[in-house]
Amino acid sequence: MAYEKIEQLFINGARRPGSAGETRDVIHPATGKSVATFCEATSDDTIAAITAARTAFDNGHWRSFSAEQRSKILERVADILTRDKDLFAEAESRDTAKRIVEAHYDMDDIISVFRHFAKEVLKPHVREVNTGRENVHSKIVVEPVGVVGMITPWNYPLLQASWKIAPAIAAGCTFVIKPSELTPSTTSMLMEVLSEAGIPDGVANAVYGAGATAGEPLSTHPDVDMVSFTGGLTTGKHVMASAAQTVKKVALELGGKNPNIIFADADMDAAIDNALTAVFLHSGQVCSAGARLLVERSVHDNVVDEIARRADNIVLGSSHDDKAQTGALISAGHRDKVEAYVAAGIAEGAVLRAGGIRPTEPELADGFFFRPTVLDNCNTTMSCVQDESFGPVLTVEVFDTEEEAVRLGNDTIFGLAGAVWTTDDDKAARVAAALRHGTIWINDYHPYVAQAEWGGFKQSGVGRELGEAGFAEYLEHKHIWHNLKPAPSEWFPEGPE
């Protein structure tokens, strides 16, 4: 398929430029050069998209599609994405500078997400209620929430979009999505796939541009029933507060400050190797990155020496460089923030053990690269331990006991993910139970599957994506009470004449 005009907004099944005629360049992070120019939506454009989604929901055609029909559409989307995987991976890697091999892994995950919700929608969703009364038939049915506003970030652009779009389609919702202004390409391409798969006009709409203009109506407009947001904590709080004005359903996937706990009895080769992947995968631009290493005191020196040595050997490069092990940060502004975060950590007493600088290779000079960084001697009073860097920065803390490891692991406003490394299964189970985070890995880091729920405790978010709960987010439950033998209730019987 030729993906044409993808730089234009997608509203009611048609491409159109933004009404103000403005555009925005997409900058390739590895070179700092423009690689695409997208139309910028005004808030009026977003309201037009919301109106299209509202009409498509209310006119009944899309709602007449059965669960089986919606399931078939999702399977078709997965098939088309499989067919066009290379095109999508190229576009994703061009916008984000992630290595092409990682963009291909993302595509496999995305395809599995569509297939998961194609199955999920076929499960029975009607529940008979035993009311204890004769002559009453009572049941719970599910219905789509309605029009969903979706707002997504730049680190896994199409993956984050698919976590919202696939269950929304499965449920029978209509939607307007605004991807990050930094990485709009693959979300826009997906609109063509949805049309090819048989989604009626108006069900899926996409607008591009700044959060404060193109994004804002998705949390404020009364015609939006639910807003599903993935991004940073500050924006998430703003979206939640805006949505409160019209009491929308809100789903939030926010940041994390995720503890990776290594006990002295762990398989050290595996623990150290995975500690590097935990934090430096995609240059740390992963919400579940294991950015806080908690290590038992007796093995601290060996563990940190080895992690620092290997961090210094990580090869940075562009997305098509076969030797590269990770890529650039998303923007110059984001790299500035990461640098400021490292400087604050050092000012607070952290000891720099690796990185902390931009790479010196001339071929990387125009990109937004930053060396994998290890900060030792950290503690929970430091901003570098409490704040999310969203970059390739590992902070190291020591602990002496299991209780202390748990206490430190929970000493954060976030609660997205964490891991524990030990050969003692009972200890692993105790620690996993005590950590207040939405995903806990035991002797592993990062794997996730579409069949398992994803989401955060505490300020890491509200609600869940994926799994069964990730489908339920897009459903309303309706109770239907059918009195089979109607009779006067005689609550207010007629009084005496």
Contact between 232 and ligand NAD by CB under 6 A: the answer reads yes
Torsion of CA 179, 20, 201, 83, to 10 degrees: -50
Rounded Cα–Cα distance for residues 3 and 17 (Å) = 16
Q: Which two tokens stand for residue 342?
A: 């490292």
Rounded Cα–Cα distance for residues 438 and 107 (Å) = 24
How near is the Cβ of 66 to ligand NAD at its closest, in Å? 31
Contact between 318 and ligand NAD by CB under 6 A: the answer reads no
Residue 384 is among the residues annotated as catalytic for this protein: no
Contact between 365 and ligand NAD by CB under 6 A: the answer reads no
Give the CB-nearest residue to ligand NAD: 211
Contact between 181 and ligand NAD by CB under 6 A: the answer reads yes
Contact between 100 and ligand NAD by CB under 6 A: the answer reads no
Catalytic choice (39, 287, 378, 384): 287
Whether 418 and 382 have beta carbons less than 8 Å apart is answered as: no
Contact between 223 and ligand NAD by CB under 6 A: the answer reads no
Considering only the stretches 64-72, 224-232, 421-429, 468-476, report the one whose residues sit in contact with ligand NAD under the rule CB under 6 A: 224-232
Rounded Cα–Cα distance for residues 268 and 283 (Å) = 23
Residues 6 or more apart whose Cβ sits within 8 Å of residue 199: 73, 169
Rounded Cα–Cα distance for residues 346 and 350 (Å) = 5
Contact between 102 and ligand NAD by CB under 6 A: the answer reads no
Considering only the stretches 22-30, 33-41, 149-157, 273-281, report the one whose residues sit in contact with ligand NAD under the rule CB under 6 A: 149-157
- The SS3 assignment for 351 reads strand
Contact between 287 and ligand NAD by CB under 6 A: the answer reads yes
Torsion of CA 195, 199, 203, 206, to 10 degrees: -30
Contact between 398 and ligand NAD by CB under 6 A: the answer reads no
Contact between 373 and ligand NAD by CB under 6 A: the answer reads no
- The SS3 assignment for 19 reads coil
Site residue total, ligand NAD (CB under 6 A): 30
Q: Which is nearer to ligand NAD, 40 or 253 (CB)?
A: 253
**241 φ/ψ sector (left φ>0, alpha ψ -120 to 50, else beta):** alpha
Q: Which is nearer to ligand NAD, 67 or 210 (CB)?
A: 210
Contact between 461 and ligand NAD by CB under 6 A: the answer reads yes
Rounded Cα–Cα distance for residues 327 and 284 (Å) = 10
Rounded Cα–Cα distance for residues 279 and 326 (Å) = 11
The type of residue at 402 is E
Half-sphere exposure of residue 342, counting CA atoms within 13 Å on the CB side?
23
What's the distance, Cα to Cα, between the start and end of the chain in Å? 79
Considering only the stretches 235-243, 258-266, 351-359, 365-373, report the one whose residues sit in contact with ligand NAD under the rule CB under 6 A: 235-243
Q: Are strands 23-28 and 33-39 parallel, antiparallel or unpaired?
A: antiparallel
Q: Which is nearer to ligand NAD, 71 or 93 (CB)?
A: 93
- The SS3 assignment for 415 reads coil
Contact between 415 and ligand NAD by CB under 6 A: the answer reads no
Q: Which is nearer to ligand NAD, 149 or 202 (CB)?
A: 149
Considering only the stretches 102-110, 227-235, 275-283, 356-364, report the one whose residues sit in contact with ligand NAD under the rule CB under 6 A: 227-235
Q: Which two tokens stand for residue 103?
A: 């963009």
Contact between 180 and ligand NAD by CB under 6 A: the answer reads yes
Q: Which is nearer to ligand NAD, 71 or 230 (CB)?
A: 230
Contact between 470 and ligand NAD by CB under 6 A: the answer reads no
Residue 75 is among the residues annotated as catalytic for this protein: no
Whether 352 and 308 have beta carbons less than 8 Å apart is answered as: no
Residues that are catalytic: 253, 287
Contact set with ligand NAD (CB under 6 A): 151-155, 160, 178, 180-181, 211-212, 215-216, 219, 230-232, 235, 238-239, 253-256, 287, 388, 390, 416, 456, 461
